[in-house]
Each structure stands twice: as structure tokens, then as C-alpha cells.
Amino acid sequence: MIQLESIGAAAKRAASALANASTARKDAALLSIADALEAHAADILSANREDVEAARASGMSPSMLDRLSLSEARIGGMAAGVREVAALADPVGRVLSGSTLSCGLEMEKITVPLGVIGIIFEARPNVTSDAAALCLKSGNACILRGGKEAIRSNTAIANVMRAALGAAGLDENCICLIEDTDRETATAMMRLNRYIDCLIPRGGAGLIRSVVENATVPVIETGVGNCHAYVEKTADIAMAAEIVFNAKTSRPSVCNALETLLVDEAIAETALPAIAARLKEKNVELRGCPRTCAILPDAVPACENDYEIEFLDYILAVKVVSGLDEAIEHIRRYSSHHSECIVTRDLAAARRFAREVDSAAVYVNASTRFTDGGVFGLGAEIGISTQKLHARGPMGLEALVSYKYVLYGDGQVR
Amino acid sequence: MIQLESIGAAAKRAASALANASTARKDAALLSIADALEAHAADILSANREDVEAARASGMSPSMLDRLSLSEARIGGMAAGVREVAALADPVGRVLSGSTLSCGLEMEKITVPLGVIGIIFEARPNVTSDAAALCLKSGNACILRGGKEAIRSNTAIANVMRAALGAAGLDENCICLIEDTDRETATAMMRLNRYIDCLIPRGGAGLIRSVVENATVPVIETGVGNCHAYVEKTADIAMAAEIVFNAKTSRPSVCNALETLLVDEAIAETALPAIAARLKEKNVELRGCPRTCAILPDAVPACENDYEIEFLDYILAVKVVSGLDEAIEHIRRYSSHHSECIVTRDLAAARRFAREVDSAAVYVNASTRFTDGGVFGLGAEIGISTQKLHARGPMGLEALVSYKYVLYGDGQVR
């Protein structure tokens, strides 16, 4: 805890200076970080090998081991990511609006960094450099707390970045890593209001829930995607099959992948077999309501929980609904408000779905897989917000700034 | 608790419909609420008299009794406030940006209501109609929870507003009041994530702290103002005296009032007596550092706590500082980041203060009393945010909306 307190204080001090660093200086530091990551790849890989060996010995699953493992190429990718962030426009110091008040005060509303951003993440060490680069570019110090499986890798990466910051003339405490990976330290970090301005958890539903439950620092919830596709009765069935196939199978482990399919009863008899045939190419397991199971003999009966969770796998929950009302009501009840889509040829249905479905991204006749900071034109992305305060959907650099009002006068009183 | 759960569910349902209500319908409902408040003034006043008598019997202070008391004129003011909100532009449904993505998807970023807003407030019954009107105009349902001293008044006001909503064809659960005023219910409300999208506490520092400490629902902190004025060494001393006098004494009980004066040592000998003479007109008590007390024989010695708190009274903490660095450092350490000002003739000092002081409103040569939604051109105000996430400084209707992305395609997959 003493470590945490002193890290918090150091990050806060670094943030004050960084908030007023020029774009040129921040960009130079980012480029020097990218170079240093490549130059010290051997040290990082050696630390990573220890993490991977320990994880394998403790029985980590192959897909998790893959997320944890670095390689020369992956470190090259991390460095390239940092260089991309350097090339983005600086979000700090933009004048959002301005006016002269009736008393003669000249007012400007100007973007400023948030201050110190806490990032709590799980086993992917590349988050260390991705998140730190986005924070640095937006003038924020960051305090990173990764999972214990990756602690040697994260420490090596953070040390390389901190040394590069120092060499570039910035305070190395602009990037801080908490090396204590016990749960108590994470909980204490979530309550460090004196030093941390905003907390962004990056990981699975369990991590997000724990942060929301325990944090007193303001949180931006990210990344839980229970996404729906609704095939309306006028839908082009071939288009529906392509969209569902893409949304479910192009990358099932990500948050914008499809988890539940809703089909209008008026076309279920033809649409469901066509969609199921396409999904069979990837052996997708279908968990259906009784009407779905009556139409599709291969489907297994769904339970309530199947509509509530993210499978993040080749599994899809399916339900036959009576129409648009029931589809919207189902989404309202079960969705994590990330991304949903309707397939339809009916203008009124499309407009009503777009208006009434309350999710970060609502698609008409397109796959939910497009919800992404890069695709949406935001540059790199620090996460996808599923809450409505501050930022919603993919969050780029703009989500990492606040604003202040600056007013110049010549003695005005009220 | 059962009451709270059912209120939450009812408000959430009402919010879904209200989110898509037309501006015309919302405005008609607001005008009908304003008329109903005036038409039922006698009922509201009768309930208020009971609150005031009970509060007087329990020994409430005269200034608190004044905040609690309604009159025909004050109810007229509440109705006028509701009509002003009706006249503001609708913040919902604005297209913030839009583009056609390279794959042909047409994307729009559109403002939407937050959903259900929880407001926790203290003894002022007029907050009931002010807050409800702002929420309604921005398409949000609200759940109000006022102090127990005002419960009869709040219930009467809420009943009048709910009946008017019904008569105007909107769900009366767009405005909900929690009649349980015990602490457990308030705490449970702060953790009602399933139904409440955002919590705005309006009240003193104790209330705000309790909400930040206990809430799992996202919170917007408001209204704590430990505001500073720094009289720099090149300041026009007469201007400094006027600004300090205005900021401290024009309305000491509000959050944009001045609480601490910092004076550069180079001009302390002349500036402090001039400022003190002006403040003496209102018998302001000065609590000073040792150097202040040496210059001003009437000042009493300040303790650490005097720099930390809001007096909200005719009391001012005073400190002599060695220059801009120490002034900025003092503000960084003690400020609640609401409003600060510098009095100076030096361009570099003004620019550095404006850049480095990290508060919602930073003034050069003007009183901190200008920090106000009306003055800043935002129309009515639901509070003044002292946090950096989502909204900062005075919050108008724009602070009560989020946004979503709507994307139209013709079969795009990724």
C-alpha cells in the first residue's frame, strides 16, 4: 500500500508537467519509446519466456498462452502501434467553443488531459505499450496494473518505456506500473481518488464487474459485448445469412462478435435453415428456443443463461420472435448495449430499430463486427465503452481528455 | 427496498418511451407541469408549512429554514423555471458528426438521453421541479431523493408534476420520488446500476463524499467550491480589492464564492491592507499565515484546515506566497478544482496561470462568481461538475445526454 501511495503521488506530479508538454515533445518521447522497445526486444522476450513457462507449468489454456506470448514480430507490432499514436493529432489544447459574455469576459472552452488514468488489465502484455502510448499522447500519466501471469513481461516493457521517457526529457513517472499483483492492491488502486482521475478496466466481464463494484474512482466500463442480430420479416435471407455468419465466425473471441440471433416468426421457417447451413461450415453450436429447435433439428435447447452471457466462442443463442416489438424488448432486457443489427428491407422497421435500440452502435443491414476505433476513424482505440457517461462505443484519444473554461477580463465583478 | 426496485423498473420503462418522445410533446408536458404547480400552489404550501413547522420544532437554523420555506412567489419562480426549460433547444437527436466509411457504411453519431438519472439532494424543495424539468427536456426519466426535512413538500410537488405528465400523455413514472428518506434506501439507490444510468448529488461536501464512497452507479460530483484568488506582484491593487470583495461577499453561501486569497510577497505590504479595508465593510474574518498576521493585526492565525474547507461564510483564508510557482502549487494541493482567479498585469503570468491551474473555470482579472450555467450561456443548470469525466463546470442540458452510432449499410461484412 505504501508503494501504491507513492506511485500515485509520483504519477500525479508527472501528470501536472505532462499536461503542458508540447506536442513535439510528446511525439519525440513516443518515437523514442518505439525505438527502445525494438532495441531491447531481447530483454523483453527473455522476461516473457519466464512468464510463459510459469503459466504453462500452472496449466494455462493454449489460447490464453497465445495471448501471453510475445515474439520479435509482436514487439515490432507494439513499436509500430506506438509510432501510429505519435502520428495522430494531439487532442489537448483544442478550443471547443468560445464567446464574449455580455459583461465583456472572453471565454474559451479548451480541451485538457484527464490527469492520471488507471488501467487494469489481464494477461496481454501488449496492452502495456498500447495504453501507455495513448495516455502519453493525450497528456495523461498512467498507472498500469496487469495480471500476475504477465508481470515479468509487463515490468520489462514498462522499464524500457520509462527509461526512454527519461532520455526524451519527460518524467519517467508519466508511465507507472504496479508490480504488486495481489487483489488487495488492485482494490486499493480502485479507491485512490486522490491521485487517479479515471479508471479503465480492460478484460473480461468478471474484471469489469469487480471494478464497478469496488471503485470509488470514476470508471469507464468497456468491452462486454452481448451483441444481437434481428432478422426482420422483410429481410433478404441471403444477406442475413452472410451478416450472421460474419458477425459470429470471423473472430468469435472479440466483443463485437454476435452472441444472439433473433428471427421473425413470419420467415423463421425459411431463414433459420439458410442461416444454419452457412453457420454449419464453421460448426457453430446453436442453442435455440423451442420454436427454433422445432425448425432446426441440430439445435440444442437454450436456457435463460444462454441469452445473458457472451459465449466468445462458436456458439450462438437463437430465438424466434413475434416481430419488431419483441425483438427490441429482448435486446433491451439482455443486451450489454455494445452493438446490435437489424436485417430488413422495410424503411419503418429500420428507422424504429435504429431509434429505439439503445446501444453504442446500431447497424441496419451490416455486421456488428465493424464496431472498432480504427474502422470508425478514431485512430487507435483504448477500449469500447458500454456505458453512457463521458464516452460511448470505441474510445480514441478524444475520450482521454476533458475541458476547462478560461476567461480573460479586466476587472469584471458580478 | 421493494419499493426502490419497483420504482427503478418503472422509471426505466418510462425512460425507454420518453427517449423517443418528440420535442413538442415534452415541451407541452413541461408547460402543463408549470401550470399545475401554480394551480396547486395551495396544496404545496400546506405540505410545506408542515415541513417548516416540524423543522423549526427540531431546532433547524434560520438560514436552513429559509431554504426549506416556500411561498406563493417561490412557487411562481419554480413554474417560471420550468417554462424556461421548455423554451430551451432540445439536446436529443442532434447529429454530432457523420461520415461514409470506406466499406460504404453510412455512419452518424447522434445524441441520445442518458436514460434514468438519480438526483440526491438536501433540504431545498425547489430542486424537485428544477431537476425534473431538465431531465424531462433531455429525454431522461428521473428518480429524486430529497432530504427528510422536505419530504412533505417534495411529495406534494412530485404528485402535482406526475399528474400533469399523465394529463399530457406521458408516463407519470418519468418523474419518480423516493418517499423513504432513511439512509439505507439512499445507499441502495446509489447501487441500483440495473435501473439508474447516472447519479447527480446536489448538496454539501458531506453528501457528495458519501455518494462517491458508496455509489456503484456512475456519479457526477458537483458543487464543492474551494476557490482561490491569487494577487500577482504586478496586479492593479484597486482591481484586486474589488475582485476579492465581490468574490467573497456578494453571496458567501454559494460554491463559486472565494475561500482563499493568495498574495505575492512583493506586494503584500500594500495589497493586503487595501484588500482588508474593503473586506472590513462586510466584517469578513481573515485567517492568515504568520506573514499575513504580521501585516494585518486584525487577522487571526490560520490552521491547515482553514485552507482545506469551504467556509461558505464571511471568512477568508489568506496566505502570502513567494510567487506564481507557490501559488499554483498551493492551488494544486488544496483546490476542489471549481474556480480560481489571478489578478495581474503580466502577460506571461496570466498565460501560465490559465494553462497550469487545473480547475473547471480559470479567470484572469475577474471574479470567480461568474461560474454559472446561466452566465456561461447554457440556459438552466443542473449543477457544477468538479470532476473531469463527462462534464466539467456548469452543466446544462448538454451534460444530460450521451450519443450513439447509427450505421446504415446494404449487407456489409468485415
CA distance A141 to B358: 15
Residue A1 has pLDDT above 90, yes or no: no
CA B178 to chain centre: 21
With a CB cutoff of 8 Å and minimum separation 6, the contacts of A159 are none
pLDDT on residue A64:
87
Q: Nearest-CA neighbor of B240 among B289, B279, B293?
A: B279
pLDDT on residue A3:
87
pLDDT on residue B1:
61
Q: Nearest-CA neighbor of B115 among B203, B223, B192?
A: B192
With a CB cutoff of 8 Å and minimum separation 6, the contacts of B206 are none
Average pLDDT over residues A135-157: 96
Give yes or no for a contact between B44 and B70, defined as CB atoms under 8 angstroms apart.
Answer: yes
Largest CA distance in chain A: 80
Choose between B3 and A268: higher pLDDT.
A268
Q: List all residues of chain B from 29 to 68 with a beta carbon under 8 Å from chain A.
A: none
For chain A, the helix, strand and coil percentages under 3-state DSSP, each to the nearest 5: 45, 20, 30
Task: For B212, name the nearest residue in chain A, comparing CA atoms only.
Answer: A216
Q: How far is CA B327 from CA A341, A400, B233, B335, B342, in A?
A: 54, 27, 12, 11, 10
Radius of gyration of chain A (CA): 24
pLDDT on residue B142:
98
**A243 at the B interface (CB within 8 A)?**
yes
A126 in helix, strand or coil? helix
Grid cell, residue A42, equals 531481447
Q: Which residues pair with A306 in a beta bridge?
A: none
> Does the beta-carbon distance from B107 to A365 stay under 8 Å?
no
**Partner-chain residue, chosen from B332, B392, B409, that has the shortest CB–CB distance to A364:** B409
pLDDT on residue A342:
98
Residues of chain B with pLDDT under 50: none
Complex ipTM, two decimals? 0.95
Q: What is the DSSP string of B89-130?
A: PP-TT-EEEEEE-TTS-EEEEEEEE-SEEEEEE-S-THHHHH
Chain A partners within 8 Å of B376 (Cβ): 101, 107, 405
pLDDT on residue B122:
86
Give yes or no for a contact between B36 and B161, defined as CB atoms under 8 angstroms apart.
Answer: yes
Chain B partners within 8 Å of A361 (Cβ): 404-407
pLDDT (tens digit, 9 = 90+) per residue, B263-320?
999 999 999 999 999 999 999 999 999 999 999 999 999 999 999 999 999 999 999 9
Chain B partners within 8 Å of A248 (Cβ): none
Residue A273 has pLDDT above 70, yes or no: yes
CA distance B405 to A378: 13
pLDDT on residue A2:
67
**B363 at the A interface (CB within 8 A)?**
yes
Q: List all residues of chain B from 184 to 213 with a beta carbon under 8 Å from chain A.
A: 193, 197-198, 212-213
Residue A258 has pLDDT above 80, yes or no: yes
Largest CA distance in chain B: 80
> Does the beta-carbon distance from B377 to A101 stay under 8 Å?
yes
Grid cell, residue A26, equals 510528446
CA distance A287 to A131: 37
pLDDT on residue B2:
67
CA distance A366 to B262: 60
pLDDT on residue B124:
86
CA B223 to chain centre: 5
Q: Nearest-CA neighbor of B218 among B118, B141, B126?
A: B118
Q: List all residues of chain A from 120 to 179 with a beta carbon under 8 Å from chain B.
A: none
CA distance A262 to B229: 61
Average pLDDT over residues A93-111: 97
Q: Which residues pair with A317 in a beta bridge?
A: A260, A287
Q: Nearest-CA neighbor of B189 among B294, B179, B175?
A: B179
Q: Nearest-CA neighbor of B235 among B191, B269, B278, B271?
A: B271
- Residue B79 Cα, gap to closest chain A Cα (Å): 26
Q: List all residues of chain B from 2 to 21 with a beta carbon under 8 Å from chain A.
A: 16, 19-20
B83 in helix, strand or coil? helix
> Does the beta-carbon distance from B218 to A218 stay under 8 Å?
yes
- Residue B70 Cα, gap to closest chain A Cα (Å): 26
Start-to-end C-alpha separation, chain B? 46
CA distance A403 to A395: 17
Q: How confident is the model at residue A379 (pLDDT cuts 50, 70, 90)?
A: confident
